[in-house]
Amino acid sequence: MKIKKITKVTFGALVAGTVIFGIGHFQTQAQQEQPAQQAAATATVTECFESREGYTARSRVENVVPEYGYPNIKCSQTTGGVLWWGDPYDDTIPMGDMPDIDDITKGDYLTEDAVIKPREPQLNYFNMDPDKHCVMCHDGKAVPFPKDKKPRMITMHQDIVEDSMELMHGEGAIWCLDCHNATNRNTLIDHRGKEISFNQPQKLCGKCHGVEYRHWRMGIHGKRIGSWIAGGKKRWWVCTECHNPHTVQTNRFQPLKPEPAPALPKGMKNADHESVHAPSAAGHGEATPAAMH
């Protein structure tokens, strides 16, 4: 309502100010661009993400495997993703108990040395309290929450939950407190009110996504690294390490920047010959003269 009261003059001054600031900012950026690019060419990327950009970060540590002088990971210099694993079990904890599912794989995972990368240590967003983390405020008393589950737009915490306004899970029927615990925000909660650790989101996700959960337990959905031998030690990726539960219906997997294309054969200037049938060159395979030669 207040915006309407701002006079045109003030508005004009604001716009002008923004434009001037914008131009100045652009110029400085252009000046800095050249050396920045050179620096990027020489500097090595040692911080990289595993599967989901912005969720699982990892930094390179040298000589983790002294026998071969391996670092724990090698990062892509172009996209900032993990490209190679020296030590697959680096920074992991045991996966913990897993409920039995009644299929032929019963017992397989129980003998397995399954480890995961814990999520709970990353809950201390504000470091307000070293032990309580989110419960500092969200203990069910300090911050009130609505009793009905009707989804509504939230304005708080977009700094830590950047995609909170794009929430789309269960075609809009599910909202925050269906998965996040209202009285203990350090945990997740299932539909029967059972608290679930952030380290084991599969226990929550599997309540609805049963087929994926079973296939994940068998090892045919999802990612595992370490030993290929059935019963060998493996690091398991849990659901949220690949899928963003908030926007999973928009993108099942958040798109990534691809690694560079292979070198063209000697003498070839570009790869235009490849796009003869591509939609961009000739409509979707339409029989235009350009596409027919």
Partner 1 sequence: MPAEEKKEVKGTTISRRQFFKQAGAVSAAVAAAAASSVIAPEEAEARTTFAEFFQNNYRLMTDEEKKEAIARLEQRHSEEYGKKVTVDGSPAMKDVLFGYALNIQKCIGCRRCVYACVKENNQSRHDTEIQWIRVIRMEKGNFTVDDMDKGYPNSPNESFGIQVGGNAYKNAGVALEGQHYYQPERVPEKDAFYFPVQCMQCEKPPCVKVCPVRTTYRDPDGIVVIDYNWCIGCRMCMGACPYWARRFNWGDPNLPAEEMNPKTHYLGNRPRMRGVVEKCTFCLQRTRKGRYPACVEVCPVGARKFGNLLDPESEVRKILDRKKVFRLKADMNTYPKFFYFID
Contact residues toward partner 1 (CB under 8 A) are: 50-51, 68-69, 74, 76, 79, 81-85, 88, 105, 108, 215, 218-232, 237, 242, 253, 255-264, 271, 274-279, 284-287, 291-292
Cβ proximity to partner 1, 77 vs 124, nearer residue: 77
Which residue number, 9 or 211, has a Cβ lying nearer to partner 1?
211
Nearer to partner 1, 74 or 119 (CB): 74
Residue (168 or 218) nearer to partner 1, CB: 218
Q: How far is the CB of 65 from partner 1 (least distance, A)?
A: 9
Tell me the closest approach of the beta carbon of residue 112 to partner 1, in angstroms.
10
What is the rounded CA–CA span in Å between residue 161 and residue 138? 15
- What is the torsional sign of CA 275, 277, 278, 281? positive
Could you tell me which of 41, 71, 58, 5 has the C-alpha nearest to residue 241?
Answer: 58
Between 262 and 267, name the residue whose CB sits nearer to partner 1: 262
Instruction: Provide, rounded to whole angstroms, the least separation between the CB of residue 253 and partner 1.
Output: 6
Minimum CB distance to partner 1 smaller for 183 or for 227: 227
CA distances for 293 relative to 7, 32, 220, 273, 287, angstroms: 63, 47, 44, 11, 10
N-to-C CA span, the chain: 62
What pairs with residue 180 in β-bridges? Answer: 188
Query: Taking the complex as a whole, how short is the minimal distance between the CB of residue 228 and partner 1, in angstroms?
Result: 5
| Distance of closest approach, residue 267 Cβ to partner 1, in angstroms | 14
The dihedral built from the CA positions of residue 193, 195, 198 and 201, taken in this order, carries a sign that is negative
Instruction: Find the shortest distance in angstroms from Cβ 147 to partner 1.
Output: 39
Exposure on the CB side of residue 160, measured as CA atoms within 13 A: 9
CA nearest 116: which of 142, 95, 147, 90? 95
For partner 1, give the closer residue by CB, 141 or 266: 266
Token pair for 226: 């370490």
Q: Report the C-alpha gap between 115 and 98 in whole angstroms.
A: 12
CB of residue 57 to partner 1, shortest distance in Å: 14
CA 152 to chain CA centroid, nearest Å: 24
Residue 85 dihedral angles phi and psi, to the nearest 5°:
-110, 120
